[in-house]
């Protein structure tokens, strides 16, 4: 253990001091003074002497004394700080002199200011700046010096830096030890495939993001597909096929008739009458079937609407089931936490105080008076009971919070179960309605009127037959008859083209519907994959939670007052790495009073000093706020605001630094 003690500090023309000697006698010392009497200047002088910076870590602060207008009071002075340190009992002297450089240019009678220079001395011997800096660094590095001399420095570092220091002091936790302490996360190792926990978390997060993006796209694709479905509600493919069959038959008949005309065996004048009769027959057929087709189209809309309602209820049920599973996993985790807190409460409650105070005076070695020994014992016992009570209360509060969360989640699951059952009944009722509606649709399709049962249609059909019998009795030019036949065939082909377009629309609608089915199946698959990744992520977060809890227990065991929280549970159940210093359950930056902040800082310094093997003078600013400081082996320099002391007054204690 290297022990560094400040024996004296001499300031010459440094900031507000023209001459000032700060002597400690090698022990603890207190500086009393009202505001602006130079308490902080002493700390600045000490840090500038060692590292060329003020106590706030700034290297560009003003060293020279200033007048009331903020200007340098007097040029040409040497600004000097000399410090005498005891390093493991060996006296070392450090001295720095900061001076202005004034140079006379050739031909000029007056000197001009050309900059500054700093001279360095070690034990009275002039050295270069590099040698001086190396000697100080060999004694104590700057970052370690600030950690061990300023009670608020550690808690002013960034979160990552604080975590690194704590892990350096207490050591990290092996993954195997964490897994062996929790059976639930043991299966996590199987899925790592040789990766580290952090790498596996990154892999899962990336895959989860990919799956989530795909899930977000699918409803859009389904909506686009549905909007691209052509309106075929008024079309019936069976009737279209029948019409095609009829039209193609008529074309064949007309072409056969043309062949007969070209052969001289047909009379063209009757062809026109036959075509008119057939057109009338087609009109009758269309008129008879249009009512049934309209009814079938409306019923098809009812069927589609019922299917859509069923799909919506299914999605609602799936969502509530997923929420219920998530709640169940959280309940299991909170039950384990409650059990662990009960065991910890029992263990803490069973602990007994172990006395460590000495019966002899540390200075003269004589036996202390019995009443003093008894008073020390009672004080230690009272402090132990207070700390034990606070620990039990914190454990009890955490246990109650876990039980309350379990009850809330169980209540939520009961409500979700009721809602799922209600939705299931609603779905069953809708499915019965779907079956009835589809049955009605099939009946409407089967009930489309057959034109052969219509007297007018049968009469026209008979006339066509008669005309075909009489056609041989009529004479008409072959060219006219053939032209009429070609015209009739062309019209029939146009009707066929229109029907083929309608059939293509039906085929397109069927293809899009199949694509929607495929997208919905893909959505279910991705949802299952997302749930699997969520489970893996939960295991990893449970691993991190267990590891951090073990680390927190190990780290907090190194400190007397300070406690550290290394992770924070987010609203979504995830974990966020933090490094919050706590005392009595109160965060360091969240309401802790100045006295507690100083004592927590001293507690941290004690642990860090023991770890790094270095003790250095501890500067405590605003020390008037602390009634009782935490015991420390290092030299303590208190800076106390005292309105009665208009000039800085130094007061040493009888006890030297140990």
pLDDT one-digit tens code per residue, 46-101: 999 999 999 888 988 888 888 878 788 888 889 999 999 999 999 999 999 999 88
* Burial class for 147, CB neighbours closer than 10 Å (0-12, 13-18, 19+): buried
Provide the pLDDT for residue 194: 63
CA dihedral defined by 530, 532, 535, 541, rounded to 10 degrees?
A: -70
β-sheet with 586-587: strand ranges across: 563-569, 575-583, 586-587
Distance CA 167, CA 174 (A): 12
Provide the pLDDT for residue 615: 94
Distance CA 76, CA 40 (A): 25
Residue 444: band (very low, low, confident or very high) from pLDDT cuts 50, 70, 90: confident
Provide the pLDDT for residue 263: 58
Query: Which residue matches tokens 């253990």?
Result: 1
User: Model confidence over 578-594: pLDDT tens digits?
Assistant: 889 999 889 998 888 99
Q: What are phi and psi of 590, to 5 degrees?
A: -130, 45
Q: Which is higher by pLDDT, 263 or 610?
A: 610
Domain ranges of the chain: 2-140+616-656, 269-475
Distance CA 510, CA 512 (A): 6
Distance CA 153, CA 139 (A): 20
Provide the pLDDT for residue 505: 87
Distance CA 374, CA 359 (A): 10
DSSP-derived secondary structure letter, 14:
E
Quick one: three-class SS letters along 520-579?
A: HHHHHHHHHHHHHHHHHHHHHHHHHHHHHHHHHHHHHCCCCCCEEEEEEECCCCCEEEEE
Q: Residue range 301-307: average pLDDT?
A: 90
Query: Which residue matches tokens 């008037």?
Result: 624
Q: Residue range 214-224: average pLDDT?
A: 88
Report whether CATH 3.90.230.10 matches the domain 2-140+616-656: no
Residues in contact with 631: Cβ distance below 8 Å, sequence separation at least 6, in sequence order: none
- Please say if the pLDDT value at position 269 is more than 70: no
Average pLDDT over the chain, rounded to whole?
A: 85
Residues in contact with 491: Cβ distance below 8 Å, sequence separation at least 6, in sequence order: none
Residue 183: band (very low, low, confident or very high) from pLDDT cuts 50, 70, 90: low
Q: Token pair of 92, please?
A: 């070392």
Tally of CA atoms within 13 A in the half-sphere of 474 that contains its CB: 19
Q: Which long-range contacts (CB under 8 A, 24 or more apart) does 322-325 make?
A: 322/531, 323/412, 323/416, 324/413, 324/416, 324/417, 324/420, 325/531
Q: Please state the separation of Cα 345 from the chain's center in Å.
A: 32
Distance CA 17, CA 406 (A): 65
User: Model confidence over 607-632: pLDDT tens digits?
Assistant: 999 999 999 999 998 888 888 899 99
Report whether CATH 1.10.287 matches the domain 269-475: yes
User: Model confidence over 164-174: pLDDT tens digits?
Assistant: 998 888 877 67
Distance CA 234, CA 462 (A): 31
Distance CA 434, CA 123 (A): 100
Decide if 67 contacts 49 (C-beta within 8 A).
Answer: no
Rounded CA Rg of the chain: 48
Q: What is the pTM of this model?
A: 0.51
Distance CA 596, CA 516 (A): 65
List 619's β-bridge partners, or say none.
637
Q: Give the count of beta carbons closer than 10 Å to the beta carbon of residue 595.
A: 16
C-alpha to C-alpha distances, 48 to 67, 77, 97, 119, 152, nearest whole angstrom: 22, 18, 11, 13, 19
Phi-psi region of 585 (alpha: psi -120 to 50; beta: other; left: phi over 0): left
DSSP-derived secondary structure letter, 184:
G
- In order, the DSSP letters of 415-439 are HHHHHHHHHHHHHHHHHHHHHHHHH
Antiparallel, parallel or unpaired: β 78-87 and 90-104: antiparallel
Decide if 489 contacts 251 (C-beta within 8 A).
Answer: yes
Q: Give the count of beta carbons closer than 10 Å to the beta carbon of residue 588.
A: 22
* Burial class for 280, CB neighbours closer than 10 Å (0-12, 13-18, 19+): middle
Distance CA 340, CA 348 (A): 12
- Please say if the pLDDT value at position 370 is more than 80: yes
Which of 352-361, 393-402, 545-554: highest mean pLDDT? 393-402
Strand, helix or coil for residue 633: coil
List 2's β-bridge partners, or say none.
614
DSSP-derived secondary structure letter, 156:
G
Q: Residue range 214-243: average pLDDT?
A: 87
Q: Residue range 325-350: average pLDDT?
A: 91
- Please say if the pLDDT value at position 291 is more than 80: no
Strand, helix or coil for residue 152: coil
Q: Residue range 297-303: average pLDDT?
A: 86
Q: Please state the separation of Cα 195 from the chain's center in Å.
A: 22
Decide if 176 contacts 642 (C-beta within 8 A).
Answer: no
Q: Which is higher by pLDDT, 575 or 556?
A: 556
Decide if 88 contacts 615 (C-beta within 8 A).
Answer: no
Decide if 376 contacts 356 (C-beta within 8 A).
Answer: no
Q: Token pair of 323, please?
A: 């929420």
């Amino acid at each position: 253990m290297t022990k560094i003690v400040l024996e004296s500090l001499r300031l010459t023309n440094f900031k507000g001091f023209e001459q000032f000697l700060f002597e400690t006698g090698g022990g603890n010392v207190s500086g009393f003074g009202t505001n602006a009497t130079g308490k902080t200047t002493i700390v600045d002088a000490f840090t500038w002497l060692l590292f060329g910076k003020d106590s706030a870590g700034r290297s560009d602060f003003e060293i020279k004394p200033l007048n009331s207008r903020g200007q340098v009071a007097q040029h040409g002075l040497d600004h000097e700080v000399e410090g005498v340190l005891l390093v493991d009992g060996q006296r070392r002297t450090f001295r720095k002199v900061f001076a202005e450089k004034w140079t006379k240019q050739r031909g000029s009678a007056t000197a001009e200011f050309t900059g500054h220079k700093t001279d360095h001395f070690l034990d009275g011997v002039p050295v270069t700046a590099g040698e001086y800096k190396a000697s100080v660094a060999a004694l104590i590095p700057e970052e370690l010096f600030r950690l061990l001399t300023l009670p608020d420095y550690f808690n002013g570092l960034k979160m990552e830096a604080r975590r690194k220091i704590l892990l350096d002091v207490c050591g990290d936790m092996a993954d195997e030890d964490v897994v062996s302490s929790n059976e639930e996360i043991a299966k996590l190792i199987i899925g790592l495939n040789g990766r580290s926990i952090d790498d596996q978390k990154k892999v899962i997060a990336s895959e989860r993001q990919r799956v989530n993006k795909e899930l977000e796209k699918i409803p859009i694709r389904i909506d686009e597909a549905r909007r691209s479905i052509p309106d075929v509600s008024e079309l019936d493919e069976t009737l279209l096929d029948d019409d095609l069959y009829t039209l193609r038959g008529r074309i064949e008949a007309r072409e056969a008739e043309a062949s007969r005309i070209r052969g001289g065996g047909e009379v063209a004048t009757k062809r026109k009458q036959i075509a008119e009769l057939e057109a009338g027959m087609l009109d009758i057929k269309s008129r008879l079937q249009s009512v049934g087709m309209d009814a079938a189209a409306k019923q098809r809309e009812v069927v589609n609407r019922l299917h859509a309602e069923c799909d919506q209820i299914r999605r609602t049920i799936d969502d509530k089931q997923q929420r219920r599973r998530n709640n169940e996993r959280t309940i299991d985790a909170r039950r384990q936490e409650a059990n662990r807190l009960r065991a910890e409460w029992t263990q803490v409650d069973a602990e007994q105080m172990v006395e460590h105070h000495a019966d002899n005076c540390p200075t003269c070695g004589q036996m202390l008076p019995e009443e003093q020994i008894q008073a020390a014992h009672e004080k230690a016992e009272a402090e132990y009971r207070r700390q034990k009570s606070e620990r039990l209360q914190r454990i009890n509060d955490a246990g109650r919070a876990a039980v309350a969360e379990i009850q809330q989640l169980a209540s939520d699951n009961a409500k979700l179960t009721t809602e799922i059952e209600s939705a299931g009944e609603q779905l069953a009722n809708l499915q019965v309605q779907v079956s009835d509606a589809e049955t009605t649709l099939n009946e409407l399709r089967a009930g489309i009127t057959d034109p052969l049962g219509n007297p007018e249609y049968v009469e026209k059909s008979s006339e066509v037959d008669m005309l075909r019998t009489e056609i041989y009795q009529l004479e008409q030019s072959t060219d006219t008859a053939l032209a009429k036949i070609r015209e009739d065939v062309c019209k029939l082909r146009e009707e066929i083209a229109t029907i083929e377009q309608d059939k293509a629309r039906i085929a397109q609608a069927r293809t899009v519907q199949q694509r929607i089915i495929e997208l919905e199946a893909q959505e279910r698959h991705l949802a299952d994959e997302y749930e699997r990744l969520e489970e893996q992520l939960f295991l990893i977060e449970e691993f991190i939670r267990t590891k951090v809890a073990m680390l927190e227990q190990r780290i907090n065991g190194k400190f007397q007052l300070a406690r550290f929280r290394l992770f924070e549970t987010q609203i979504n159940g995830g974990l966020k790495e933090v490094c919050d210093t706590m005392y009595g359950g109160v965060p360091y930056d969240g309401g802790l009073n100045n006295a507690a902040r100083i004592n927590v800082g001293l507690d941290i310094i004690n642990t860090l000093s023991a770890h790094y093997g270095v003790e250095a003078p501890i500067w405590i600013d605003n020390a008037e706020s602390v009634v009782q400081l935490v015991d420390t082996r290092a030299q303590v320099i208190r800076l106390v605001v005292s309105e009665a002391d208009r000039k800085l007054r130094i007061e040493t204690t009888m006890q030297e630094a140990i």
